[in-house]
Amino acid sequence: MKKSHFCDAEPAPAFSNLPSVSLSQLAMISINIRSLLWLSAIFRVILIVYGEWQDSHMEVRYTDVDYLVFSDAASLMASGDSPYKRTTYRYSPLLAFFLIPNSIIHRSWGKFLFSASDLLVGVFIHSILKLRKVPEDLCMYSAVVWLFNPFTFTIGTRGNCEPIVCAMILWIIICLLKGNVLQAAFWYGLVVHFRIYPIIYVLPIILILDPLFFRSGLKPRLQNWSSRQDKTLRSSNKVTDQYDLWKALKTVFSKERVMFGLVSGAVFLSCTGLFFYLYGWEFLHEALLYHLTHGGVCGIQQGSFIRKCTSLVLRYLLCPLEY
């Protein structure tokens, strides 16, 4: 009896033509940035609600002590008084203005505002990496590290205003990456007025504002993530040759740098002059001069982690070929 030729044939392996995908890639495909934002937002809402319960039922409060200062200053501003009648309020009147709904809608309004700013930071981190041509899975991992970091989500839900500052600084980086120097200058002047310590970022921003970065059709970006190490080293040496001392001196007063300085300075002085007119020397001393003489302006506080993260992003922007 003859055997069928079908019996002699080897069975074709199933799904042999399908591309191989790792588990991590499958996870990143099924979870996009919008899903991450929804999950992290729900988690922050739960923490804010829990914080209200802990404040009412336990001796140790969940809410940051500074948040009570913000709320009291906002209540004073809502009633037409100076926010600086509240002792230890040493911030811009803009912060008290943003928290006026604390006394109108609910006392947790500011926590939701700060947590929303924290979510914006995650979005901006993802956007910056996308602009730098970073692979999508690394963009998602970076957003996850921020959005679900217990240190960062605790800061906003307890009522600390640092997420607003961090979101503004990252937005400035996005503006610089897109070549929007005027918009970046506006937000930089505003954030320095809002919290004086971002003045420390002026040096890396000035270094970024080089004509080589803003020629027509050229934006700062990574060359190629899949390139080999020797190619990266050659590119790095080529970039180093372009930034010699003589060219650096010639471009100190470039158009972009002068424009950035004038616009950011005008915004800072306008805000400062307006509030000096409204609140006098008390504003100038509490919001600005106090921080220039106090060691806490860049000290190790709750917001220091955010400042370090922002500094790393600025360093990454300046030295793209090192990563």
The answer to whether residue 16 sits within a structural domain is no
Count Cα neighbours of 276 within 13 Å in the Cβ-side half-sphere.
12
Residue 108: what pLDDT? 87
Residue 257: what pLDDT? 86
The answer to whether residue 12 sits within a structural domain is no
Residue 88: what pLDDT? 83
> What is the domain extent for residue 134?
31-322
**Rounded-to-integer distance, Cα 37 and Cα 2, Å:** 65
The answer to whether residue 5 sits within a structural domain is no
Average pLDDT per consecutive 10 residues, the chain (323 residues; last block may be shorter) = 49 46 47 85 92 86 87 89 85 90 88 93 92 87 90 88 93 91 94 90 84 49 42 50 58 80 93 88 77 54 50 52 42
The answer to whether residue 78 sits within a structural domain is yes
Residue 247: what pLDDT? 64
The answer to whether residue 23 sits within a structural domain is no
The answer to whether residue 187 sits within a structural domain is yes
Q: How many folded domains does the chain comprise?
A: 1
The one-letter code for the residue type at 144 is V
Residue 156 tokens read as: 């906003």
Residue 316: what pLDDT? 53
The answer to whether residue 3 sits within a structural domain is no
Residue 189: what pLDDT? 94
- How much is the pTM? 0.72
The answer to whether residue 63 sits within a structural domain is yes
Residue 66: what pLDDT? 87
Question: Which of 305, 300, 320 is CA-nearest to residue 221?
Answer: 320
